[in-house]
Amino acid sequence: MLNFLVIIFLAVNIACVVLAAIGLKSLVAEEVILSGMHICGYDYEEDVQLSISMVWMLNTVWEVLALCLSVWIAVKHFRDLRRLGPSTGSMIGDCFRVLIQSHVLYFA
């Protein structure tokens, strides 16, 4: 599972950097001075809204995937606690401990 997450993470981040670089390549900035006030304006030479939207979509898909996997681990842990009975101690503390231990790389 860790290999799967690392590969997906790298693929998403590399794709986002490439798409962002393509979008920033066609960025044009201009400064307008009106009555002593400096106003900056930004415009794109080409239509890059699709690449910017793709960056947002890829990041959103990655975050949703990580959230689903976190919920899956939490549900699995709660089922194990229920099966073991009341001798396991605090359920909330155990849940946070398992989530932090299994996702320390992502949270870092």
At 75-87, the pLDDT tens digits run 787 777 677 665 5
Predicted pLDDT at 70: 78
- Answer whether 0.75 is exceeded by the pTM: no
Rounded CA-CA distance 52/87 in Å is 52
Task: Delimit the domains of the chain by residue range.
Answer: 1-106
Tell me if 91 sits within 8 A of 81, measured CB to CB: yes
d(CA 100, CA 73): 11
The burial of 67, by beta-carbon neighbours within 10 Å (0-12 exposed, 13-18 middle, 19 or more buried), is given as: exposed
pLDDT value at residue 95 = 65
Answer whether 69's CB lies under 8 Å from 44's CB.
no
